[in-house]
Structure 1
Amino acid sequence: MYGIVREFSHRFEKHNGSIIREDLLGFDISEPEGAAAAGTNSLFTSAGPKLVRDAAEILEEMLNE
């Protein structure tokens, strides 16, 4: 199981540049200022859905191998 998670993480990072939330969004949304900035920049409606879609596509690829 760990190997599968590692492979998914590797592919996701290769596709998106990171697996770390702050790196992906550009803000630390666990802090009020970061959450406000992410909201102001529409990251919850733009980056969030894209990252979920990327993850789903990677998982689909892996399941089809």
Structure 2
Amino acid sequence: MWFLEVRDELRLQRLVRRHELFGRTPDEAGRWVEQVDQRNAELISATRRHADLIIHLLDEP
């Protein structure tokens, strides 16, 4: 199993941007990320120790 590790700030920015592209307002997108996506990230993060390979995503230039 692989685990993709992304800096929290970058992950949150990308998620908000994605939700905005699909029609949510910036406030709606931010709330969704905080209330739904963050919970999912926490669940996934708990599986990190089981990974055979951890990939660290570098920030965009």
Relative to the length of structure 2, the TM-score reads: 0.43
Larger RCO: Structure 1 or Structure 2 (Cα < 8 Å, ≥ 6 residues apart)?
2
Relative to the length of structure 1, the TM-score reads: 0.41
Higher helix share: 1
